[in-house]
Structure 1
Amino acid sequence: MKLLKKITAATLMMIFLIVFTCYAQEDYSVRVRIRSPRLYNQQANLAGYDDITVYEEDEEIFTLGDNLSILIDSYYDGNYNFLTSAESGAAKYGAFHARLDGTYKSYDEAMDAADDFENTMNGDFYPYYNGRDYYVYAGNFKDKSSAGSFLGKLSGNGITSDVVYSDLENIVVFDNYSNIVFMYEKELDIRFSSIKGNENINLIKIDGRPYRGTMGFNIIEGTKLISINFVQLEDYLYGVVPNEIAASWGMESLKAQAVAARTYAVYSIRPNSSYGYDLEDNQNSQVYWGYSYEKPSTNKAVDETKGEMIYYDNKLIQAFYHSTSGGSTENSENVWTASLPYARGVKDEYSDKSGSPYNQWVKTYTKDEIIKKLNADGNSVTDLYGIQIKEVSENNRVMECIFLTDNGEISYKKENARLLLGLMSSWFKIENGSVFYFADKDSIQGTGDNLGVIPSRGILDNITEKKEESSGTKALSSGSVLGKYAVTSTGNKKIDKQKLAFISSEGVKIVDTNSTQYSFDGRGWGHGIGMSQYGAKEMAAEGFTYDEILKHYYTGVTIK
């Protein structure tokens, strides 16, 4: 206390400022690509709760009506269905325009001039903006000849103009009477929103679904119009958390999800993203369905953890999470490539006790269905002889899966195997009569139901050639039992029957060695890295706090 009394007020203020600077949360915003409920790549419909305000970045520049259609400046048929330039012969509307001489300082000035021209001429006149000046444009003509004819009419009325061609270079805004009311250069940061009066928040509907913040557009890959929601981080989380975790679950699990989702979002911010967005609204990033999907409980979880994120060694982590672990989470390098120190596999009895419907599952395919999947992925296969699991991780997930085909052995490693097969996780065993896994007694751990390290129930106790084991994984020898020899009371017998009986810990089993079906017997749902959401649910039910939940699933982290 004596020491504290000697510190001057100025020194105390300096310490306060340093601490505040270190821990104050930045007011983040994110850019989210909205794919759902987008129906077409070339157009979108906007609706406001009142007139729609148009922004350039964050600055209001003018207002339009409450219903708008956004299209790429290109070719369209009579119903405004998009046509490529190669299909322009069938177009009714196109990317040729008449640009009238003169520039204007604002949208309103350009719109007043456009209205004057419409009163003089029979045509559709509207403001165009290139980021510096406003012009008055006319028409969306299907070819240069049509545009030239209109220029002749303008000239006859003393109006000087020229033809411009801008296929796929501009974004066009129509009102609900199919009149163009604005066109702007595609590189500009133009956004749209409205105010929901009774709540005084910025909201905009795109194709009927409302989102907080503003909505902008960009043209990518030549002919694809994408919609981008510019939204404050905490508002974004309101639309994420209830779509990533059940809003009825315990508050501590909702808070854990909010912190993980916030961390993931900020980690994903890319100011120089070539496509103009940081996140997608689906499982490629985080599921985000906007304002109408918000729930009071999840909004509360976001509010009560405002600004809190997860750090390892004072650096923001990539906070992966998944539905159900199946009993253990996984090391990041066993699923993808990078070894992340905070993404270490942990035993997860909470997920097992959670009642998740995805703790155990079975998926069955015919041989032909698997051949079709292999060929869809760029292989050339006409027959499949078997599937072998060559390696599993210490956390039970498949590290390498071999498909034995008429075109040789085709290997899929780590997550690629489950993605090819459309399985819920990479923790699976394969049930097929003709393929067995040969193991010596030292490679089998546990008994009965605890034989989780061996990816099939068809195990023959056989002395095999010693295989090198990669760090933390178990290598298995496998193949068809047909053609092998069994030791019997009457001597060695070659196995050549289609159906065999085996005595196992589960009793006598009849196995069809000529099966054309493959059953994948698995556990969990998702990649298995980081937080198990069902595990978080169980931990919350058992009285753990959200920070304890996060520290269980992310190794060595701090929450601040």
Structure 2
Amino acid sequence: MKGEEMKKIAKGFIIVVVLLMFSIGTCFGLDADTYVRVRIRSPRGYNEHAMLKGYDNIHVYEKNGNELVELFQLDTELNFLLDTYYDSNLNVQLKNPTTGPYHVKLKNKQFSTFEETQVEIRNLEKSIDLCFYPYYNGERYEITVGSYVDENTAIDTINKLNNNNLDSEILCGINKNIVVYNSENNIAFMYSNNYNIYFTSYNSNLSFNMISIDKKPFRGMMGFYIIDESKLISINYVDIEGYLYGVVPNEIIPSWPIEAIKAQVLAARTYAMSCLDYKSNYGYDLEDNQDSQVYRGYASEYEDINKAVDDTKGQKIYYDDKLIKAFFHSSSGGSTENSENIWFEALPYLRGVQDEYSNISPQTEWNKVATKDYIIGKLQDDGNDINDLYGIEISKVSENYRVLECIFLTDIGKITYKKENVRRVLGYDFLLSSWFTTKNSNFFYFTNESFAELSKNVIMQKEENTGSSILDVIVDLDDEELDSSYEEINPSTVLDTGNIDGKYLISSTKTASVNKNSTAFISKSGISIQDNDTSEYNFSGRGWGHGIGMSQYGAKEMATQGFTYEEILKYYYTGVTIK
């Protein structure tokens, strides 16, 4: 007996030592000990159903604090379903389901291990013609049977158990449990919603753990969690370097110079590490898309990029001994931007820098055309009850040329959007950056004739940004102000904006309304016709992305010119250190 106990102790010690390899570090720990949790949206097609496939038996782990403890093993192919209503093909069916989230649970039968539960299930099935399966409630294993659409359909099972002297009760797990089916379409395991349960297998050909979800392979482990009361999300639990293998090829072109790739590796590693949130209510730290970084798992890996990750292992970017938010973008258009001019917080290491290196990008200059109906539709989608658009004015621009305030003149008045919100409304794929100007013929500046010539340069500068026309009237300036040079006068005190559509012209003979067709203007230089109804708006811009931090095309050009990855990073991130 003592010999058996010693074997168990020795075996337990070995398991603990091995599991320490999976322990989770902190932001300031060693990367080798750091894991990230990534929500996998692609290739997931449904919120209620996912398929895992292993390279040998699928091993089930539970994360307790900083340790992963193996619970048991299952078949090589498993289907995971949200505990809800399904048809016979396991498609969600709420109207006429054949299976549902009601289960019968045996009373007074709880076990500490999966194996003990399975032994009891085998004993039960010898005398009772029912298919039992283990249920894990987060603390103990219980025995359950069936998936019923309501309590009434479970009565026969309860009576059958009572006849065998087994007390039971109804367990309703709708949107609370995760049901695991084996390849024979039988329930192999069910557990309460818990993002600390993970599944993986060992790939002997590659010599590391990985798992395939919906036919797409990922390093590390896969877990599931129910959010928003009805969504079964998948979470890849993977070490930071394995994560980078699947990120960097999707964020930079693998054939680019190695120093640019290394700069991208450090930016991606630092960004990921700065996002770790072990108290996340949703059970993950990062998304697999542009909301975090584009991550596509093992299938997207490149050998050269993996080497760049390995060669810079553990290196991150710091400011004042703290990890930075290492934002990056495709191309700046010629100048990066201060963080507060795009979002809100002024971060000392995210300062705008002149960036001629970025001008090799094909998106250095771009042009887009939008119909009036398109813009009206986008404004309506954002909750604005409008029917007509008269013009667009860019009223504020940052020192680095990004739009800080954009005004849409509509039939319900001026609608103002600040900073990146105008891109959000019109579409990030439409406005590639917030460095843009727009031209339309229906928005006007009003000033008086005596000031028009004096402020010509000021007006022309604003006209380049808005494409607006200069008309007449409005402003009271005394002679002292008129004697001043235009550079000393704030344009906002002498220029007003508006739309002439629907306004009235008053003359000595009659009052007439201005219609949407056109208006003729007479001056000493002749007659000009102004189109009052703009059907299209032209946008001209520079760069692609938010413009904060490192420009990827800029990094490519700097690497081509011989700069190291450390020099590239220190150029785009002000005052940082690398360690």
1:541 aligns with 2:549: no
1:389 aligns with 2:389: no
Post-superposition offset of 1:115: 3.4
Report matched runs for 1:98-247 at 5 Å.
98-101=104-107, 102-187=109-194, 189-247=196-254
Cα distance between partner residues in 2 of 1:444 and 1:198: 69
Cα distance between partner residues in 1 of 2:569 and 2:358: 14
Aligned 8 A contact 1:392 1:399 in 2: yes
Q: What residue number does 2:546 align with?
A: 527
Q: What residue number does 1:29 align with?
A: 35
| Deviations 1:249-296 (CA, angstroms, capped at 9, x unpaired) | 000000000000111011101111111111111000111110110111
1:427 aligns with 2:435: yes
Of 164-173 and 339-348, more deviation after overlay is shown by 164-173
Cα distance between partner residues in 2 of 1:31 and 1:255: 23
How many residue pairs match? The answer is 507
Specify the code of the residue in structure 2 equivalent to 1:557.
Answer: V
Q: 1:414 to 1:437 in 2, by over 3 A?
A: farther
Q: What residue number does 2:267 align with?
A: 260
Report matched runs for 1:254-333 at 5 Å.
254-333=261-340
| Deviations 1:24-59 (CA, angstroms, capped at 9, x unpaired) | 735221111111111111121111111111001111
Aligned match for 2:574, one of 537, 552, 555: 555
Aligned 8 A contact 1:401 1:413 in 2: yes
Cα distance between partner residues in 2 of 1:534 and 1:212: 29
Cα distance between partner residues in 1 of 2:139 and 2:182: 24
Specify the code of the residue in structure 2 equivalent to 1:38.
Answer: R
Cα distance between partner residues in 1 of 2:120 and 2:127: 11
Specify the code of the residue in structure 2 equivalent to 1:45.
Answer: M
Percent identity (aligned) = 51
Post-superposition offset of 1:388: 1.1
Q: 1:377 to 1:181 in 2, by over 3 A?
A: same
Q: 1:437 to 1:398 in 2, by over 3 A?
A: farther
Post-superposition offset of 1:100: 2.0
Cα distance between partner residues in 2 of 1:306 and 1:380: 53
Cα distance between partner residues in 1 of 2:213 and 2:530: 55
Cα distance between partner residues in 1 of 2:529 and 2:356: 33
Q: What residue number does 1:12 align with?
A: none
SS of the residue 2:292 aligns to: coil
Post-superposition offset of 1:457: 5.0
Cα distance between partner residues in 2 of 1:185 and 1:500: 74
Aligned 8 A contact 1:312 1:556 in 2: yes
Post-superposition offset of 1:463: 10
Report matched runs for 1:501-516 at 5 Å.
512-516=531-535
Q: 1:345 to 1:474 in 2, by over 3 A?
A: farther
Q: 1:458 to 1:391 in 2, by over 3 A?
A: same
| Deviations 1:73-120 (CA, angstroms, capped at 9, x unpaired) | 22223332335xxx4x52211121111242223212212332343343
| Deviations 1:493-550 (CA, angstroms, capped at 9, x unpaired) | x99984999xxxxxxx998553211111111111110011111111111111101111
Aligned match for 1:376, one of 368, 376, 381: 381
Cα distance between partner residues in 1 of 2:228 and 2:332: 37
| Deviations 1:139-166 (CA, angstroms, capped at 9, x unpaired) | 0111111112111122223433222222
Post-superposition offset of 1:442: 5.2
Aligned 8 A contact 1:424 1:526 in 2: yes
| Deviations 1:373-429 (CA, angstroms, capped at 9, x unpaired) | 111111101111111111111111111111111111111110001111111111111
Report matched runs for 1:329-408 at 5 Å.
329-352=336-359, 354=360, 356-408=361-413
Cα distance between partner residues in 2 of 1:23 and 1:401: 41
Aligned 8 A contact 1:432 1:513 in 2: no
Aligned 8 A contact 1:131 1:188 in 2: no
Cα distance between partner residues in 2 of 1:187 and 1:255: 37
1:44 aligns with 2:76: no
Cα distance between partner residues in 1 of 2:44 and 2:338: 36
Aligned 8 A contact 1:73 1:170 in 2: yes
Post-superposition offset of 1:366: 1.0
Specify the code of the residue in structure 1 equivalent to 2:438.
Answer: I
SS of the residue 1:59 aligns to: strand
Aligned 8 A contact 2:195 2:283 in 1: no
SS of the residue 1:90 aligns to: coil
1:91 aligns with 2:107: no
Cα distance between partner residues in 1 of 2:471 and 2:332: 30
Specify the code of the residue in structure 2 equivalent to 1:410.
Answer: I
1:61 aligns with 2:71: yes
Specify the code of the residue in structure 2 equivalent to 1:534.
Answer: Y
Post-superposition offset of 1:180: 0.4
Q: Give me the TM-score of the superposition, normalised by structure 2.
A: 0.82
Cα distance between partner residues in 2 of 1:454 and 1:481: 20
Specify the code of the residue in structure 2 equivalent to 1:65.
Answer: D
Of 226-235 and 73-82, more deviation after overlay is shown by 73-82
Q: 1:427 to 1:121 in 2, by over 3 A?
A: same
Aligned 8 A contact 1:312 1:342 in 2: yes
Q: 1:23 to 1:104 in 2, by over 3 A?
A: closer
1:409 aligns with 2:414: yes
Q: 1:252 to 1:367 in 2, by over 3 A?
A: same
Specify the code of the residue in structure 2 equivalent to 1:409.
Answer: K
Specify the code of the residue in structure 2 equivalent to 1:104.
Answer: F
Aligned 8 A contact 2:393 2:466 in 1: no
